[in-house]
């Protein structure tokens, strides 16, 4: 199975569009995307300096438009630009933060136009929320996860991003972030991030309210590819639920660690990160070190040939390779497990809740990452599990 990852804000770099403009249709695409977003994305992506491309209002639609253009250039990816009906099992798609709107378009939930327009509204609304209260974000790298979370709470901050690979992003008031940097958890370092405010926290409530008032006018379709959610790493099987999660995610933590756990559980063999690429590929490489999964960051047009090879290889796999005898469902976090009341032998569609993991400071939901039959529970109510421990065994269902 091939995974396609869509980056979020923070992945942008000055001049990031320049290398791609020689591709056919690139300049008209970004002028058209800029008209939808009411921003000069072409100039911003070629001439904008480091300060200009951190402006939340315009950076978010720029990142999403760039990812969607390169996905279209690849040709073999799903989505409303060049969509080919399929059984949906060859590709799994996950985005990080605003990259979830890219992922929704690639899965066919939103049109490219709707994804860019919604991203532009999201970016402007979040920028306005940032202006109301001075806040920020800092990455905490390393350390014991429980100790890091305790330190974040102690300083009145929120864990905005649980990225995996030993990276947790704290967000909140600037004085709390300064105190965390001055007194970091053991064996951890704190790195301030160049962002406008505390994304994915209650400080973004006004932006969430604005989006809630807008999405009712959209008519999403159900995903045509396996689409993972930042809320809990679970697959989402309806367009309406995808939209609901996209809105709620503005004030909720990004659980990219849970997405990485689901991808590993699904048996992903190769990963392509769309541009502006590098950050998510780096997380995946560190999290899956030694797993033998090829991870390709599309940093320039020269990488397109290998990406097409990976897509073609996945398209040519046999059904036997798509559907192994069984796969494990693993715990996305450490804590006490509470399995769902589902009998062994039950047929489960992708996204079915399988229970939750209750840790010291959070509760993480566990869901089936694909269609299958619950073959065997491997835990009981109240068992203590670590991240990566097996919870259940599923037999994938092969379509007739």
**57 plus 124 within the same structural domain:** yes
* pTM exceeds cut of 0.75: yes
CA distances from 395 to 71, 231, 264, 329, 370 (A): 32, 25, 16, 11, 10
Tokens of 4: 């396609």
Nearby residues of 290 by Cβ (< 8 Å), 6 or more positions away: none
**85 plus 157 within the same structural domain:** no
d(CA 86, CA 176): 49
User: What pLDDT, on the 0 to 100 scale, is given for residue 54?
Assistant: 86
3-state secondary structure of 285: helix
**240 plus 384 within the same structural domain:** no
**390 plus 264 within the same structural domain:** no
User: What pLDDT, on the 0 to 100 scale, is given for residue 399?
Assistant: 47
Question: Which residue in the list 96, 155, 200, 229 is annotated as catalytic?
Answer: 200
**Is 15 within the bounds of a domain?**
yes
- Smallest Cα–Cα separation from 87: which of 354, 323, 348, 353? 323
**76 plus 114 within the same structural domain:** yes
**314 plus 331 within the same structural domain:** no
d(CA 56, CA 273): 21
| Beta bridge partner(s), residue 225 | none
**241 plus 307 within the same structural domain:** yes
d(CA 78, CA 108): 7
Number of structural domains in the chain:
3
**318 plus 334 within the same structural domain:** no
**Is 354 within the bounds of a domain?**
yes
Residue 222, Cα to own-chain centre: how many angstroms?
A: 18
Q: Looking at 302, 322, 342, which one is the last position of a domain?
A: 322
User: What pLDDT, on the 0 to 100 scale, is given for residue 317?
Assistant: 55
**10 plus 125 within the same structural domain:** yes
d(CA 195, CA 198): 8
Residue with tokens 């979370």: 149
Q: Indicate which CATH number applies to the domain containing 363.
A: 2.40.50.100
Element (H, E) at 396: strand 390-396
Q: Looking at 322, 352, 375, which one is the last position of a domain?
A: 322
**Is 79 within the bounds of a domain?**
yes
d(CA 307, CA 77): 10
3-state secondary structure of 119: helix
* Model confidence pLDDT, tens digit, residues 10-61: 889 999 999 999 998 899 999 999 999 999 999 999 999 988 988 999 999 9
97 is catalytic: yes
**87 plus 208 within the same structural domain:** yes
Q: Percent of the chain scored above 90 by pLDDT?
A: 69
* Model confidence pLDDT, tens digit, residues 117-137: 999 999 999 999 999 999 999
**Is 197 within the bounds of a domain?**
no
Q: What is the mean pLDDT of residues 315-325?
A: 49
Question: Which residue in the list 97, 158, 224, 367 is annotated as catalytic?
Answer: 97
pLDDT at residue 336 greater than cutoff 50: yes
**289 plus 388 within the same structural domain:** no
User: What pLDDT, on the 0 to 100 scale, is given for residue 311?
Assistant: 86
Q: Looking at 282, 305, 322, which one is the last position of a domain?
A: 322
Terminal Cα distance for the chain, rounded: 19
Q: Could you tell me the residue range of the domain that residue 379 belongs to? A: 327-396
3-state secondary structure of 270: strand
Helices (H), the chain: 26-37, 41-47, 56-74, 99-106, 112-132, 145-154, 174-182, 205-212, 239-248, 256-266, 279-287, 304-315, 319-322
Q: What are phi and psi of 101, to 5 degrees?
A: -70, -35
Q: Indicate which CATH number applies to the domain containing 266.
A: 3.40.366.10
**185 plus 168 within the same structural domain:** yes
200 is catalytic: yes
């Amino acid at each position: 199975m091939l995974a396609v990852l869509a980056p979020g804000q923070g992945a942008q770099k000055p001049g990031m569009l320049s290398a791609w403009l020689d591709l056919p249709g690139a300049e008209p695409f970004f002028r058209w995307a800029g008209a939808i977003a009411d921003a000069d994305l072409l100039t911003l992506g070629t001439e904008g300096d480091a300060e200009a491309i951190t402006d939340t209002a315009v950076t978010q639609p720029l990142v999403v438009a760039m990812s969607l253009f390169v996905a279209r250039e690849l040709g073999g990816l799903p989505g409303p630009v060049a969509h080919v009906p399929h059984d949906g099992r060859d590709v799994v798609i996950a985005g990080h933060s605003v990259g979830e709107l890219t992922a929704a378009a690639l899965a066919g939930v939103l049109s490219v136009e709707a994804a860019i327009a919604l991203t532009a509204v999201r970016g402007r609304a979040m920028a306005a929320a940032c202006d109301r209260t001075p806040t920020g974000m800092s990455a905490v790298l390393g350390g014991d996860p429980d100790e890091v979370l305790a330190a974040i709470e102690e300083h009145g901050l929120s864990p905005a991003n649980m990225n995996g690979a030993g990276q947790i992003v704290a967000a909140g008031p600037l004085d709390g972030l300064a105190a965390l940097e001055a007194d970091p958890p053991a064996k951890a370092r704190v790195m301030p991030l160049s962002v406008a405010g505390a994304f994915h926290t209650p400080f973004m409530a006004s932006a969430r309210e604005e989006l809630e008032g807008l999405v009712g006018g959209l008519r999403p379709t159900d995903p045509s590819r396996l689409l993972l959610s930042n809320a809990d790493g679970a697959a989402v099987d309806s367009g309406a639920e995808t939209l609901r999660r996209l809105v709620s995610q503005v004030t909720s933590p990004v659980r990219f660690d849970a997405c990485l756990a689901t991808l590993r559980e699904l048996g992903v063999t190769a990963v392509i990160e769309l541009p502006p690429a590098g950050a998510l590929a780096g997380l995946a490489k560190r999290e899956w070190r030694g797993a033998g999964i090829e991870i390709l960051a599309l940093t320039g047009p020269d990488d397109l040939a290998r990406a097409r090879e990976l897509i073609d290889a996945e398209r040519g796999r046999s059904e036997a390779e798509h559907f192994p005898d069984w796969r494990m469902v693993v715990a996305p976090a450490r804590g006490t497990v509470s399995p769902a009341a589902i009998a062994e032998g039950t047929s489960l569609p992708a996204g079915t809740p399988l229970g939750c993991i209750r840790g010291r400071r959070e509760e993480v939901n566990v869901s089936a990452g694909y269609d299958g039959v619950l073959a065997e529970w491997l835990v009981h109510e109240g068992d203590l599990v670590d991240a990566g421990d097996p919870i259940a065994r599923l037999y994938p269902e092969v379509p007739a």
